[in-house]
Amino acid sequence: MPKYHIWTIGCQMNKAESDRLGSLFEQQGYQATVTAEEADLIVLNSCVVRQSAENRAVGKLRALKPLKQANPNLTVALTGCLVDSNEAQLRKAFPYVDHFFKPGEIPRWLQGTQTTRQTHSTSSGQAQETQDSPVSAYLPIIQGCDNFCSYCIVPYRRGRERSRPVAELVQEARELVKHGASEITLVGQNVDSYGHDLADKPELADLLEEFNGIEGLARLRFLTNHPKDMTERLIEAVASLDKVCEQFYVPVQSGDNDILKLMRRDYTVERYRQLIDEIRHQVPDAAISTDVIVGFPSETEAQFQHTYDLLAELRFDTVHVAAYSPRAGTIAARELEDDVPAAEKSRRLALIEKLQTDIASEINARLLRKTVEILVEGRKKGKWQGRTRSGKLVFFSDSGNWRGQLVKIRIEKTSPWSLQGKIIEETTK
Ligand code: SF4
């Protein structure tokens, strides 16, 4: 059987697209492999949001050259945000890459790969490690972004928003469930915009209702939300639909209105605070995650303090914090001077990390000696791992095979990042 290997870097959209490509390869008769060396088909799914991510993708691409030289039958493909309208340049720089395709595209060359590749499949006869289909799968529901936040390269690389039709998504979700997925996360750069470009204008809440009826599916999640577009109806859907997990990912980026304006985020701190209040009112157990950028151009100490105070007040479950770095081609890189010194950015970043570590410690400590239900995704370093409905990572040790099962765990140890416990019982899906 021919083998494929997908290397992914970047956001959940990339992860989702890699899952989707993986399913497609499997339908074509391929089997997943952990290492690139064993594969007949290698796909790199790249990211350019940060220069470091772009550098890593380019480094990985270069490392594939000797593999291709040693095995001309190997197929190498590049996708993700590195593939823009610059295909000619990429072809010149990486002549050993067979295919380039834009994020979200299903390449035409995929049709018929099975026959071609089976001819060239490896014949080493050795047992090779393969990957299982995911218990928790990602499903891209909307591509691109119309927002043009001033620091972000995504709209330039991924283009305008394009929603996928409900029927196509439901069909794909059923396939994922058939292949072992019990949990599906609907992803998009801005899932709140879902459907506005489709004829019958379905909303994300409609999609969640459809998915909630899929037999065999135990849990549903969605990300990423934009605070300006999130609706009350969506929050109500989370509160009322039994499979939709109590988890929200709502990036705030800054706690200062002037900085939000420079970021072109189109909401105020006051509006954001109302939104979080509404979520907590409707879904009292909701876990809420956010993103923050520190050291944005012209951010003063007082403006940074506004962000710090907002995070201390709203007490998120998770905060992803990044120090601002200009990305060529964005509005901020063109128009705003990157004037906060690197050392100051690092200081601000460390302050937020420390604050959030303390908050997450306290939030997670409340689960000590409580029983939580988790969906077991697999094993890591000799332990089973899974997540609660609120997205908390839980580890436990047991000799049974719990992959794909919903189990009850009594929590015996907590940390800011994960929980550990003992299995109590298996629950039914
Ligand atoms: S909403 Fe803003 S930050 Fe998110 S992808 Fe779109 S432009 Fe980028």
Helix residue ranges, H only, 8-121: 12-27, 51-63, 65-70, 87-93, 113-119
* DSSP letter assigned to residue 131: P
**Six-digit token pair at 5?**
């290997």
Q: Same domain for 192 and 318?
A: yes
CB 143 within 8 A of CB 159: yes
Estimate to the nearest angstrom the gap between the alpha carbon of 225 and the chain centroid.
12
Q: What is the pLDDT of residue 121?
A: 33
Q: What is the pLDDT of residues 86-114, one digit of tens each?
A: 778 888 889 999 998 887 777 777 655 44
Amino acid at site 151? Y
Q: For 348-372, give one letter per residue: b (16+ CB within 10 A) or e.
A: bbebbeebbeebbeebbeebeeeeb
The CA distance from 405 to 429, in Å, is: 8
Amino acid at site 374? I
CB 82 within 8 A of CB 46: yes
Question: Is 226's C-beta closer than 6 angstroms to any atom of ligand 1?
Answer: yes
Q: What is the pLDDT of residue 426?
A: 63
Q: Same domain for 7 and 152?
A: no
Q: Same domain for 219 and 350?
A: yes
Indicate whether 131 pLDDT > 60: no
Amino acid at site 24? L
Q: Same domain for 342 and 379?
A: no
Indicate whether 393 pLDDT > 70: yes
Indicate whether 136 pLDDT > 70: yes
The CA distance from 263 to 164, in Å, is: 28
Q: Same domain for 353 and 402?
A: no
Q: How many domains in the chain?
A: 3
Share of the chain above pLDDT 70, in %: 93
Please choose from 13, 150, 152 the residue to mutate so as to test ligand 1's pocket, defined by most ligand atoms within 8 A of CB: 152
**Six-digit token pair at 354?**
């420390």
Which of the two residues, 23 and 70, has the higher pLDDT score?
70
Distance 269 CA to ligand 1 centre (A): 18
**Six-digit token pair at 416?**
């800011």
CB 158 within 8 A of CB 167: no
Q: Same domain for 87 and 217?
A: no
- What's the CATH number where 358 sits? 3.80.30.20
Indicate whether 123 pLDDT > 80: no
Three-class SS string for 332-378? HHHHCCCCCCHHHHHHHHHHHHHHHHHHHHHHHHCCCCCEEEEEEEE
Angle between helical axes of 232-240 and 204-212 (0-180°, round to 10): 10
**Six-digit token pair at 335?**
């128009």
- Which helix (H) or strand (E) segment holds residue 205: the answer is helix 204-212
The CA distance from 143 to 18, in Å, is: 14
The CA distance from 393 to 420, in Å, is: 9
Q: What is the pLDDT of residue 111?
A: 54
Task: Name the most confidently modeled range: 49-58, 128-137, 411-420.
Answer: 411-420
330 assigned to some structural domain: yes
Question: Is 142's C-beta closer than 6 angstroms to any atom of ligand 1?
Answer: no
146 assigned to some structural domain: yes
Q: What is the pLDDT of residues 219-232, one digit of tens each?
A: 999 999 999 999 99
Distance 30 CA to ligand 1 centre (A): 34
Q: Same domain for 263 and 386?
A: no
Please choose from 189, 253, 266, 267 the residue to mutate so as to test ligand 1's pocket, defined by most ligand atoms within 8 A of CB: 189
Please choose from 154, 158, 225, 228 the residue to mutate so as to test ligand 1's pocket, defined by most ligand atoms within 8 A of CB: 154
The CA distance from 105 to 144, in Å, is: 12
Question: Is 293's C-beta closer than 6 angstroms to any atom of ligand 1?
Answer: no
Question: Is 330's C-beta closer than 6 angstroms to any atom of ligand 1?
Answer: no
Q: Same domain for 347 and 202?
A: yes
Question: Is 360's C-beta closer than 6 angstroms to any atom of ligand 1?
Answer: no
- Which helix (H) or strand (E) segment holds residue 68: the answer is helix 65-70
Q: Same domain for 316 and 377?
A: no
- What's the CATH number where 34 sits? 3.40.50.12160
* Residue where a domain terminates, one of 73, 90, 119: 119
* DSSP letter assigned to residue 320: E
Q: What is the pLDDT of residue 378?
A: 92
Mean pLDDT on 131-157: 88
By residue count, the chain amounts to 429
Q: Same domain for 29 and 93?
A: yes
- What's the CATH number where 390 sits? 2.40.50.140
Q: Same domain for 275 and 295?
A: yes
Average pLDDT, the chain: 90
126 assigned to some structural domain: no
Q: Is the dihedral of CA 106, 112, 115, 120 positive or negative?
A: negative
Q: What is the pLDDT of residue 429?
A: 53
The domain of 379 spans: 371-427
* Residue where a domain terminates, one of 312, 336, 365: 365
Question: Is 250's C-beta closer than 6 angstroms to any atom of ligand 1?
Answer: no
Q: Same domain for 421 and 292?
A: no
